[in-house]
RNA sequence: GCGCCCGUAGCACAAUCGGAUAGUGCAGCGGAUUUCUAAUCCGCUGGUUGCAGGUUCGAGUCCUGCCGGGCGCACCA
């Protein structure tokens, strides 16, 4: 029972009207959730959209549709409102049925059936294997991974992919940097270096230190009894290609390990080196077809005038080296050749100028530029209690992703990265993300789940300690989900407006999944968790504090009071709470954030200022 | 100079292919409560959606022009 379901129902009604000749349009209706309670549960603007083609007044069409819909078994009321909306209110027992579906789906609630479309390739992170990932990469990683999970939940077939720039100048610099550090540890000082391009982070020292034990240097190290392995390696000189390979392999492994920690995984990794292997014939073919040409010793691809590009672009420099643009282009073509219908890329926002060039390049190749969709992820500013944390890249002194995860944990890292749309800047408050209090949104969401679990645990305890009157035990067992159909919980037992509203909220998860996948905006799932958690917390507190109507009987009740308790209502609410929990779990699963059964209260308690 | 992204409450952000009265958190002020995990909840304050036009039944959303912020315009990556 969600907007998609209602949409089908409205479409049927429209079809009926058409068959009877009351309407002629073939406009497909769109149904949305209402913002305001008084407008019912769902609304459609079909009448206003169709009005022009029908050449009728919107309200007249709306009246026809409303009359048709009000006959349906699931519809309580169908009313014409405003300029021509049809507002629908769904019957209470239809909500209860909807929750049964959610409970049957359990952990996988929110997942949509497969669309059967061509698979989607999502390429993200793809940071050069020349150093550890930093915080900005982390955001791209989490957004990309959540997007992959989201698209899968929405029934798409998705492959997550990492592209390694393991060729070209950047990695040559890494190889040279390894040599520089070898030289340093051998001679106690850096060799004379005429430029600033080498990588001077501490991780390179580690690479240099471990190089001697790497198998690919065995010929040198084993034959170096007198001078020592370090000297043997240093003698290879700064341009030794094995330094590059070695450095890349080590960095790749380290980057993948960091991402795995963050629960980010890839189905496929592509190496630029392997792409470059076929680049010669590819571009000479283009040259033969006059899609590329030589000028001043360089090879240019004809992209001028396409996708807003104002000049042709170099694919091979006059020094003979292929540009990254050339291999990137070939790589995207390669992905299309592998059968992907859509190529989604996640880039740092500073690369946005590259998008038109990529599109133009694809167009020049005769490919559909629209197949490549680029999501730009904006900057992350780290703060601690409102104060900016310095992230100077100078001398390799910047905050790595590993350090961030060490500091605040995987769940908080992921959650915070998903609290903003990808294209807006993000302030990441490290202090807040660590706090075990409710102004920390991660904590709030996880606590909400733990609380749902606590209620169900207590319900189970009541049953197991036999404090529930004998004849009513099957009912409670049903509410707790221990049986299915073992007892009938009357739909009317869950009749409060708040309960109905919350049912509507939780059953909207499949709609949110569909919409978020369509928009490529995983952050919406996090908003859903927040909304649902908050709605339940409000309900839970209000029921008890304001209405003296708790979900479970208070602990102090004696046996006669328990006998008089309304167990039917309790069973209905427990079932409903399980449905809420299924929705929270389903949503957190898409975000890749854990849903803990309990929060340990132990540490951190109070230790404010003691001054 | 040209191009791209963003301007929504004091701060940080939402807003379902253009839908009805623009929401949520934090901060501020006031309150509930002695329990089912209070690690809770409620109320109040706060807005000309940067500005000016346009498109239409209807605009935070689309178009044009300004203003402000960020970024990009290499035979760099």
CATH code: domain of residue A79? 3.30.1360.70
pLDDT of residue A313: 92
Residue A71 shares a structural domain with residue A182: no
- In a domain, residue A101? The reply is no
Q: How far is the CA of A44 from the C1' of B56 (A)?
A: 19
pLDDT of residue A601: 61
For the cut 90, the answer to whether the pLDDT of residue A610 exceeds it is: no
Q: Are the CB atoms for A165 and A171 separated by under 8 Å?
A: yes
Residue A183 shares a structural domain with residue A58: no
CATH of the domain at A550: 1.10.730.10
Residue A467 shares a structural domain with residue A580: yes
pLDDT in tens, A111-156: 999 999 999 999 999 999 999 998 888 989 999 999 999 999 999 9
Length of chain A measured in residues: 611
Query: Does residue A91 or residue A305 have the better pLDDT?
Result: A91
Q: How confident is the model at residue A393 (pLDDT cuts 50, 70, 90)?
A: very low
For residues A530, A532, A534, A539, the Cα torsion angle rounded to the nearest 10 degrees is 180
Contacts of A406 (CB under 8 A, 6+ apart): none
- In a domain, residue A35? The reply is yes
Host domain of residue A36? 3-90
- In a domain, residue A367? The reply is no
Q: How far is residue A464's CA from residue A477's CA, in Å, rounded to a whole number?
A: 10
Q: How far is residue A113's CA from residue A541's CA, in Å, rounded to a whole number?
A: 36
Q: What does the radius of gyration of chain A's CA atoms come to, in whole angstroms?
A: 31
Which nucleotide is nearest to A320 if distance is taken from CA to C1'?
B75
pLDDT in tens, A21-44: 898 887 889 899 888 888 899 999
Closest CA to A151 of A184, A115, A192, A180: A115
For residue A123, list its beta bridge partners.
Answer: A161, A345
- In a domain, residue A472? The reply is yes
- In a domain, residue A517? The reply is yes
Closest CA to A255 of A402, A61, A412: A402
Residue A84 shares a structural domain with residue A185: no
Q: Helix (H, G, I), strand (E, B), or coil: what is residue A517?
A: helix
For the cut 70, the answer to whether the pLDDT of residue A606 exceeds it is: no
Which nucleotide is nearest to A300 if distance is taken from CA to C1'?
B75
pLDDT of residue A394: 39
Q: Are the CB atoms for A183 and A190 separated by under 8 Å?
A: yes
Residue A74 shares a structural domain with residue A208: no
Which nucleotide is nearest to A51 if distance is taken from CA to C1'?
B57
Q: How confident is the model at residue A431 (pLDDT cuts 50, 70, 90)?
A: confident
pLDDT of residue A578: 94
Q: Helices (DSSP H) in A201-313: which residue ranges? A: 202-211, 218-222, 229-234, 241-261, 272-276, 279-288
Q: How far is residue A359's CA from residue A363's CA, in Å, rounded to a whole number?
A: 6
For the cut 90, the answer to whether the pLDDT of residue A333 exceeds it is: yes
Closest CA to A231 of A217, A239, A221: A221
By percentage, how much of chain A surpasses pLDDT 70? 96
Residue A185 shares a structural domain with residue A78: no
Q: Helix (H, G, I), strand (E, B), or coil: what is residue A307?
A: coil
Q: Are the CB atoms for A315 and A283 separated by under 8 Å?
A: yes
Which positions in strand B are less than 7 Å from the protein's CB atoms?
Answer: 3-7, 12-17, 19-21, 23-27, 32-42, 57-58, 70-77
Which nucleotide is nearest to A535 if distance is taken from CA to C1'?
B41
Q: How far is residue A578's CA from residue A455's CA, in Å, rounded to a whole number?
A: 10
Closest CA to A142 of A339, A389, A459, A377: A377
Contacts of A338 (CB under 8 A, 6+ apart): A121
- Averaged pLDDT for residues A349-360: 86
Q: Helix (H, G, I), strand (E, B), or coil: what is residue A387?
A: strand
pLDDT of residue A51: 87
pLDDT of residue A608: 32
DSSP structure class, residue A370: G
- Averaged pLDDT for residues A66-83: 93
- In a domain, residue A603? The reply is no
Q: How far is the CA of A454 from the C1' of B34 (A)?
A: 21
- Averaged pLDDT for residues A157-164: 96
- Averaged pLDDT for residues A286-301: 93
Domain boundary among A28, A57, A90: A90
Q: How far is the CA of A35 from the C1' of B47 (A)?
A: 19
Closest CA to A184 of A205, A170, A203, A213: A205
Domain boundary among A90, A112, A143: A90
Q: Helix (H, G, I), strand (E, B), or coil: what is residue A493?
A: helix
Asked which of A51-65, A393-407, A565-579 is least confident by mean pLDDT, the reply is A393-407
Closest CA to A69 of A27, A121, A122, A7: A7
Contacts of A530 (CB under 8 A, 6+ apart): A441, A444, A445
Residue nearest to nucleotide B2 (CA to C1'): A310
Q: How far is residue A118's CA from residue A115's CA, in Å, rounded to a whole number?
A: 9
Q: How far is the CA of A581 from the C1' of B44 (A)?
A: 33
Residue A472 shares a structural domain with residue A578: yes
Write the CA distances from A360 to A220, A290, A371, A556, integer angstroms: 48, 16, 12, 73
Q: How confident is the model at residue A609 (pLDDT cuts 50, 70, 90)?
A: very low
Q: How far is the CA of A352 from the C1' of B52 (A)?
A: 30
Residue A451 shares a structural domain with residue A555: yes
How many other C-beta atoms lie within 10 A of the C-beta of residue A191?
Answer: 14
Q: Report the range out of A48-62, A213-227, A246-260 with the highest average pLDDT.
A: A246-260
Q: What is the 3-state secondary structure (H, E, C) of A20-44?
A: CCCCCCCCCCCEEECCCHHHCCEEE
pLDDT of residue A501: 87
pLDDT of residue A320: 92
For the cut 50, the answer to whether the pLDDT of residue A611 exceeds it is: no
Which nucleotide is nearest to A453 if distance is taken from CA to C1'?
B37
- Total tally of structural domains belonging to chain A: 3
Asked which of A63-77, A226-240, A417-431, A448-462 is least confident by mean pLDDT, the reply is A417-431
Q: Are the CB atoms for A595 and A449 separated by under 8 Å?
A: yes
Mean model confidence pLDDT for chain A? 89
pLDDT of residue A396: 41
Contacts of A556 (CB under 8 A, 6+ apart): none
Which nucleotide is nearest to A319 if distance is taken from CA to C1'?
B75
Residue A1 tokens, joined? 């029972």
- In a domain, residue A329? The reply is no
Q: What's the half-sphere exposure (Cβ side, CA atoms, 13 Å) at A77?
A: 9
- Averaged pLDDT for residues A581-596: 93
For the cut 70, the answer to whether the pLDDT of residue A2 exceeds it is: yes
User: DSSP readout, A174-229?
Assistant: HHHHHHHHHHHHHHSSPPP---S-S--SHHHHHHHHHHTTSGGGHHHHHT-TTT-H
- In a domain, residue A499? The reply is yes
Residue A473 shares a structural domain with residue A580: yes
pLDDT of residue A556: 82
For the cut 70, the answer to whether the pLDDT of residue A602 exceeds it is: no
Buried b (16+ CB within 10 A) or exposed e, A295-320: eeeebbbbbeebbebeebbbbbeeee
For the cut 80, the answer to whether the pLDDT of residue A267 exceeds it is: yes
Q: How far is the CA of A36 from the C1' of B49 (A)?
A: 20
Q: How far is the CA of A534 from the C1' of B46 (A)?
A: 22
Domain boundary among A56, A90, A124: A90
């Amino acid at each position: 029972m969600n907007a998609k379901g209602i949409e089908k129902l409205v479409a049927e009604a429209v079809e009926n009207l058409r068959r009877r000749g009351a309407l002629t349009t073939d406009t497909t209706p769109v149904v949305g959730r209402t913002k305001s309670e008084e407008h019912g549960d769902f609304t459609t603007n079909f009448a206003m959209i169709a009005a022009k083609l029908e050449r009728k007044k919107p309200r007249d069409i709306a009246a026809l549709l409303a009359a048709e819909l009000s006959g349906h078994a699931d519809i309580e009321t169908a009313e014409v409102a405003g300029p021509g909306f049809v507002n629908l209110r769904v019957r209470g027992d239809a909500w209860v049925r909807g929750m049964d579906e959610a409970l049957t789906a359990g952990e996988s609630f929110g997942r949509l059936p497969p669309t059967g479309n061509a698979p989607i390739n999502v390429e993200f992170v793809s940071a050069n294997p020349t150093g550890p990932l930093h915080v900005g990469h982390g955001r791209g990683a989490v957004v990309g991974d959540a997007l992959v999970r989201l698209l899968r939940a929405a029934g798409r077939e998705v492959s997550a992919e990492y592209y390694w720039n393991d060729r070209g100048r950047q990695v040559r610099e890494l190889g040279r940097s390894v040599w520089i550090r070898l030289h340093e540890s051998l001679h106690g000082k850096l060799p004379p270096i005429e430029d600033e391009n080498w990588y001077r982070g501490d991780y390179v020292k580690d690479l240099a230190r471990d190089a001697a034990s790497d198998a690919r240097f065995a010929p040198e190290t084993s034959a170096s009894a007198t001078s020592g392995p370090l000297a043997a390696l240093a003698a290879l000189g700064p341009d030794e290609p094995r330094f590059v390979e070695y450095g890349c392999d080590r960095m790749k492994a380290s980057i993948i390990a960091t991402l795995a920690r963050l629960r980010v995984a890839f189905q496929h990794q592509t190496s630029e080196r392997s792409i470059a292997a076929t680049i010669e014939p590819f571009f000479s073919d283009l040259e033969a077809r006059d899609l590329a040409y030589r000028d001043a010793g360089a090879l240019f691809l004809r992209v001028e005038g396409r996708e807003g590009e104002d000049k042709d672009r170099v694919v091979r420099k006059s020094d003979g080296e292929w540009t990254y643009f050339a291999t990137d282009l070939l790589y995207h073509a390669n992905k299309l050749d592998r059968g992907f219908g859509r190529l989604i890329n996640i880039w740092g926002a500073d690369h946005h100028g590259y998008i038109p060039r990529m599109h133009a390049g694809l167009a020049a190749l005769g490919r559909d530029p629209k197949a490549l969709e680029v999501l730009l992820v904006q900057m992350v500013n780290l703060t601690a209690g409102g104060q900016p944390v310095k992230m100077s890249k100078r001398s390799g002194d910047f905050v790595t992703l590993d350090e961030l995860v060490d500091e605040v944990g995987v769940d908080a890292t992921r959650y915070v990265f998903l609290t903003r749309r990808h294209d807006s800047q993000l302030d990441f408050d490290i202090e807040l993300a660590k706090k075990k209090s409710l102004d920390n949104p991660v904590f709030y969401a996880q606590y909400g789940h733990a609380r749902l679990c606590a209620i169900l645990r207590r319900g189970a305890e009541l049953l197991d300690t036999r404090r529930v009157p004998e004849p009513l035990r099957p009912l409670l067992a049903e509410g707790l989900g221990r049986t299915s159909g073992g007892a009938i919980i009357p739909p009317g037992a869950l009749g409060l407006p708040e309960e109905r509203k919350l049912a509507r909220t939780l059953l909207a998860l499949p709609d949110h999944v569909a919409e978020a996948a369509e928009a490529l905006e995983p952050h919406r799932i996090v908003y859903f968790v927040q909304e649902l958690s908050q709605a339940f917390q409000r309900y839970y507190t209000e029921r008890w504090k304001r209405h003296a109507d708790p979900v479970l009987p208070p602990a102090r009740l004696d046996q006669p009071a328990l006998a008089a308790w309304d167990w039917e209502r309790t069973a209905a609410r427990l079932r409903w709470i399980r449905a809420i929990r299924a929705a929270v779990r389903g949503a957190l699963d898409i975000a890749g954030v854990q849903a803990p059964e309990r929060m340990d209260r132990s540490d951190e308690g109070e230790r404010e200022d003691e001054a």
